[in-house]
């Protein structure tokens, strides 16, 4: 009898623990989606004999070109490396300026600094958080050589306007599409507008190679240059050599990516259409539900773009962002803030005299923004839980 009661109690405790766990299940803001097929591809590569700079790198690069409809892709070991050699390939004299957004991951302006050039920030638009073309115009000087624009959250910038500014001022364009694989501007996929477009395959992005990145371009000369820059500036890869001789023409890097990673990437990209579709479904649901809440402003989507929905961010109105952040965190939701403006970091403050007042929109958006969970394998139940928790928030 006593035994029976104890067993019953243990059973109840287990049930209670199980329910608690269920309730507390952590929902990250983003995560990868790896299938059995992906794993098989990686294992096959491990058994193949080619671990780096082999056929899988070429296959992944070709699949990127196919998907985007562009001519050249150069895969490297991270999006940051891709940004670095994209800037380097343009070979600007020291002291040149490159205009970019402060409301991005710090890799963009860092890539300018790696090359001994000066990043100049321009303020953003509130609704898309993208760089504001009018603000770019205000920052152009005789030393301006290029613009790095970032398609924030997967929403393409006002690309026609940026191209016009570039044409009028003889500037190069680097597009950071680390958020925007699969996005379209006026019916054309990103990757076909700037001189070079940057992609990242970090696990939170649309497709992953663990770490990894790429530059895509339609410019043959730049493509050739980038291939040497990812490999120490050496003119011929071992497979292209007739004999032992090779030359080092520029001070390049070792930014090569492995075949192990590229076999994962080549397998992942096959699922891009499904990934984007699911991201759109979830964002649509969020937009519908959150537009009914008066203290939330949902993000804008302009009529002439296809949004790739890397991030779902909202702006809070009359609600303390940090309190709301803590509330969501306590409920095991992996909220985040994208981004801390680059000029706010200690390194930038120490080295540059940038006043936050120059960037009123960035400052305001930064103080009110929060990123909610969004990733392809997020279930409807998880989406509902996020929506319910937001709705139940009491100030
Ligand atoms: C992720 C990201 C990068 C850097 O990519 P890594 O692959 O992590 O080096 C650069 N810019 C933006 C906007 C990003 O989101």
pLDDT of residue 22 exceeding 60, the answer is no
Q: Please name the residues in contact with 381: beta carbons below 8 A apart, sequence gap of 6 or more.
A: none
pLDDT band at 5 (very low <50, low <70, confident <90, very high): very low
* Number of the ligand 1 atom closest to the C-alpha atom of 205: 1
Residue to probe by mutation, ligand 1, list 111, 178, 190, 340, most atoms within 8 Å of CB: 178
Mean pLDDT of 250-278: 98
The CATH number, out of the four listed (3.40.50.20, 3.40.640.10, 3.30.70.141, 3.20.20.80), of the domain defined by the range 36-270: 3.40.640.10
Strand, helix or coil for residue 174: strand
Query: What spacing in Å lies between the alpha carbon of 23 and ligand 1's midpoint?
Result: 32
* Number of the ligand 1 atom closest to the C-alpha atom of 104: 13
pLDDT band at 6 (very low <50, low <70, confident <90, very high): very low
Q: 304 near 193, Cβ under 8 Å? A: no
Task: Supply the residue whose CA is at minimum distance from atom 15 of ligand 1.
Answer: 178
How far is residue 23 from each of residues 18, 285, 331, measured CA to CA in Å? Answer: 9, 22, 9
Share of the chain above pLDDT 90, in %: 91
Check residues 152 and 19 and name the one with the higher pLDDT. Answer: 152
Query: What spacing in Å lies between the alpha carbon of 181 and ligand 1's midpoint?
Result: 12
Name which of 90, 97, 32, 38 is nearest 262 in CA terms: 38
Name which of 66, 309, 51 is nearest 299 in CA terms: 309
Q: How far apart are CA 334 and CA 332, in angstroms?
A: 6
How far is residue 356 from each of residues 102, 121, 291, measured CA to CA in Å? Answer: 10, 11, 30
pLDDT band at 23 (very low <50, low <70, confident <90, very high): low
Mean pLDDT of 60-84: 98
* Number of the ligand 1 atom closest to the C-alpha atom of 204: 1
What is the pTM for the complete model shown?
A: 0.93
Q: Please name the residues in contact with 338: beta carbons below 8 A apart, sequence gap of 6 or more.
A: 153, 311, 313, 369, 371
Task: Supply the residue whose CA is at minimum distance from atom 14 of ligand 1.
Answer: 178
Quote the pLDDT of residue 242.
Answer: 87
Residues of the chain with CATH 3.90.1150.10: 12-32+272-392
Q: How far apart are CA 117 and CA 79, in angstroms?
A: 19
Task: Supply the residue whose CA is at minimum distance from atom 2 of ligand 1.
Answer: 178
Give the end-to-end CA distance of the chain in Å, rounded to a whole number: 50
Torsion on CA atoms 92, 97, 100, 106, rounded to nearest 10: 80
Name which of 159, 173, 168 is nearest 131 in CA terms: 159
Check residues 16 and 66 and name the one with the higher pLDDT. Answer: 66
Q: Please name the residues in contact with 264: beta carbons below 8 A apart, sequence gap of 6 or more.
A: 34, 38, 41, 42, 208, 209, 210
Residues of the chain with CATH 3.40.640.10: 36-270
Query: What spacing in Å lies between the alpha carbon of 206 and ligand 1's midpoint?
Result: 12
Q: How far apart are CA 278 and CA 309, in angstroms?
A: 10
Give the tens place of pLDDT for each residue, 364-386. Answer: 999 999 999 999 999 999 999 99
What is the dihedral sign for C-alpha 211, 181, 387, 368?
Answer: positive
**HSE of 262 in the Cβ direction (CA atoms, 13 Å)?**
25
Residue to probe by mutation, ligand 1, list 100, 202, 204, 205, most atoms within 8 Å of CB: 202
Q: What is the mean pLDDT of the chain?
A: 94
Phi-psi region of 321 (alpha: psi -120 to 50; beta: other; left: phi over 0): alpha
Give the tens place of pLDDT for each residue, 127-176. Answer: 999 999 999 999 999 999 999 999 999 999 999 999 999 999 999 999 99
* CATH level 2 (architecture), domain 12-32+272-392: Alpha-Beta Complex (3.90)
The secondary structure element, H or E, covering residue 193 is none
Quote the pLDDT of residue 238.
Answer: 77
Q: How far apart are CA 267 and CA 68, in angstroms?
A: 16
Mean pLDDT of 14-32: 70
Judged on CB neighbours under 10 Å (0-12, 13-18, 19+), 56 is buried
Query: What spacing in Å lies between the alpha carbon of 123 and ligand 1's midpoint?
Result: 20
- The three state secondary structure string of 56-118 is HHHHHHHHHHHHHCCCEEEEECCHHHHHHHHHHHCCCCCCCEEEECCCCCCHHHHHHHHCCCE
Name which of 180, 198, 182, 203 is nearest 30 in CA terms: 203
What is the dihedral sign for C-alpha 67, 72, 75, 81?
Answer: negative
pLDDT of residue 11 exceeding 70, the answer is no
Give the tens place of pLDDT for each residue, 173-192. Answer: 999 999 999 999 999 999 99
Check residues 19 and 327 and name the one with the higher pLDDT. Answer: 327
pLDDT of residue 96 exceeding 70, the answer is yes
pLDDT of residue 196 exceeding 60, the answer is yes
Report residues whose beta carbon is within 6 angstroms of any ligand 1 atom.
78-80, 104-105, 107-108, 150, 176, 178-179, 200, 202, 213
How far is residue 342 from each of residues 13, 103, 366, measured CA to CA in Å? Answer: 49, 7, 11
């Amino acid at each position: 009898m006593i035994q029976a009661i104890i067993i019953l109690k243990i059973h109840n405790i287990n049930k209670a623990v199980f329910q608690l766990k269920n309730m507390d299940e952590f929902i990250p803001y983003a995560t990868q989606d790896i299938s059995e097929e992906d794993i098989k591809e990686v294992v096959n590569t491990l058994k193949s004999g080619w671990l780096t700079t082999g056929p899988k790198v070429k296959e992944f690069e070709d699949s990127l070109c196919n998907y985007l409809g562009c001519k050249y892709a150069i895969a490297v070991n991270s999006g940051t490396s891709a940004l670095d050699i994209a800037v380097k390939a343009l070979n600007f004299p020291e002291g040149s300026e490159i205009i970019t957004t402060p409301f991005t991951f710090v890799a963009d302006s860092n890539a300018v600094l790696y090359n001994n050039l000066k990043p100049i920030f321009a303020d953003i638009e509130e609704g898309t958080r993208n760089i504001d073309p009018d603000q770019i115009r205000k920052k152009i000087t005789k030393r301006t050589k290029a613009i790095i624009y970032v398609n924030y959250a997967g929403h393409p910038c006002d690309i026609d306007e940026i191209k016009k500014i570039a044409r009028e001022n003889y500037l190069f364009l680097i597009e950071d599409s680390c958020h925007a694989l699969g996005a379209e501007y006026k019916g054309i996929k990103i990757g076909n507008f700037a001189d070079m477009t940057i992609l990242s395959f970090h696990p939170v992005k649309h497709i992953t190679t663990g770490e990894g990145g790429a530059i895509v371009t339609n410019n043959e000369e730049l493509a050739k240059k980038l291939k040497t820059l990812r490999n120490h500036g050496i003119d011929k890869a071992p497979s292209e050599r007739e004999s032992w001789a090779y030359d080092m023409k520029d001070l390049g890097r070792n930014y090569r990516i492995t075949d192990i990673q590229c076999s994962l990437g080549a397998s992942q990209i096959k699922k891009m259409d499904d990934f984007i579709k699911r991201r759109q479904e979830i964002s649509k649901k969020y937009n519908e539900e959150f537009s009914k809440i008066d203290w939330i402003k949902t993000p804008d989507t302009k009529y002439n773009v296809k949004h790739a929905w890397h991030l779902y961010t909202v702006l809070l109105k009359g609600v303390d962002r940090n309190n709301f952040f803590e509330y969501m965190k306590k409920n095991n939701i992996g909220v985040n803030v994208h981004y801390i403006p680059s000029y706010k970091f200690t390194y930038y403050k120490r080295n540059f005299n940038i006043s936050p007042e120059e960037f009123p929109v960035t400052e305001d958006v930064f103080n009110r923004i929060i990123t909610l969970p969004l990733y392809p394998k997020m279930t409807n139940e998880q989406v509902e839980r996020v929506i319910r928790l937001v709705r139940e928030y009491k100030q």
